[in-house]
Amino acid sequence: MTLVQGRAAVVTGAARGIGRAIAAKLVEHGARVVLADLDADAAAATAAELGGDGTAVAVGCDVTDPDGVDALVRRCVDEFGALDVLVNNAGITRDATMRKMPLDAFREVIDVHLTGTWLGTKAASAVMREQGHGAIVNISSISGKVGNLGQTNYSAAKAGIVGLTKAAAKEVAHAGVRINAVQPGIIRTAMTEAMREDVWEAKLAEVPMGRAGEPEEVADVVLFLASDLSSYLTGTVTEVTGGRYM
Ligand code: NAP
């Protein structure tokens, strides 16, 4: 259980759901982790549960705020002496058909997912280039591959994260920094629990493995991409979907 032993990591949107599972997995494998979340109290509670001994610390951070993201990256370096891993995970949904979606709901989702991931990738890769190593993992969604009804905002943002991941990966590969993306399918979290029962069942019916994924199953893939097991992978997109939309 030492795949990221001694590494310093930042996970955004880490108070709950997939982000929390990722932070827990990194701690379990020896990393020290800064948990960033819009909800600072919830992040602090999660950090206390994961590593009361200082291996997990919490920071209140809105990933759409450039100064906040810079401060987050600095905090990790100040606290742990490096930034080895960044996971851009924070996310929201504002679903509606395009006919009913207000422009604000489109911009908000693009801002959190795409701009937030760009800000994190930019700030972290600057530190990682200087170090000569680092791994960034961006959480996209299978929605960015196939486009989901009622999610023109979310699907566009998640597809954008793929393009951003590949372009940024090309820019920093020579400096020892790897950037990869993960596309989860339907994973059991608060985000999906808000779904109507019939919508949930219809989505599950499309999964060849016949079940939803658990946050820990996404976290396992992120751990792989954050660790040296994936030392020759960059610019990749890994689907964690139980075979849905393969
Ligand atoms: P979740 O349970 O809703 O957790 C998302 C976390 O992100 C929350 O703690 C939320 O804080 C935080 N957050 C939201 N906006 C933020 C911001 N501007 N700055 C910092 N933190 C912010 O969602 P999840 O299901 O774990 O999703 C995590 C990631 O996986 C997202 O990027 C999502 O799009 C992606 N994903 C999820 C699924 C799925 O089936 N669940 C599938 C594919 C992709 P608050 O609680 O304060 O809002």
**Crossing angle between the packed helical segments 17-28 and 40-51, to the nearest 10 degrees:** 30
- Ligand 1 neighbour 83 (Cβ under 6 A): no
pLDDT of res. 101: 98
Strands 134-139 and 32-37: unpaired
Q: What is the pLDDT of residues 66-106, one digit of tens each?
A: 999 999 999 999 999 999 999 999 999 999 999 999 999 99
> From the candidates 154, 183, 186, 230, which is the catalytic residue?
154
Which residue bears the tokens 């600072």? 40
pLDDT at 52 exceeding the cut of 80: no
Q: 187-237 pLDDT, tens per residue? A: 999 888 888 899 899 999 999 999 999 999 999 999 999 999 999 999 999
- Residue appearing with tokens 């820990």: 216
Query: What is the DSSP secondary-structure string of 110-175?
Result: IIIIIIHHHHHHHHHHHHHHHHT-EEEEEE--THHHH--TT-HHHHHHHHHHHHHHHHHHHHHGGG
CB 203 within 8 A of CB 186: yes
Residue nearest to atom 31 of ligand 1 (CA): 91
Give the CA radius of gyration of the chain: 17
Q: Which two tokens mark 128?
A: 């990682």
User: Model confidence over 2-47: pLDDT tens digits?
Assistant: 999 999 999 999 999 999 999 999 999 999 999 999 999 999 999 9
Say if residues 179 and 234 touch (Cβ distance below 8 Å).
yes
| Domains along the sequence of the chain with CATH | 8-238 (3.40.50.720)
The pick from 109, 188, 191 for probing ligand 1's pocket by mutation, whose C-beta has the most ligand atoms within 8 angstroms, reads 191
In terms of Cα–Cα distance, which of 244, 245, 188 is closest to 219?
188
pLDDT at 168 over 90: yes
- Ligand 1 centroid – CA 14 distance (Å): 8
> Using 50, 70 and 90 to split pLDDT, how confident is the model at 51?
confident
Half-sphere exposure of 223 (CA within 13 A, CB side): 24
- For the question of residue 232 being annotated catalytic, the response is no
Cβ 19 under 6 angstroms from ligand 1: yes
Q: What is the pLDDT of residue 195?
A: 84
178: which strand partners? Answer: 135
Nearest-atom index, ligand 1, CA of 21: 26
Mean pLDDT of 56-68: 98
pLDDT over threshold 80, residue 1: no
At residue 190, the pLDDT reads 87
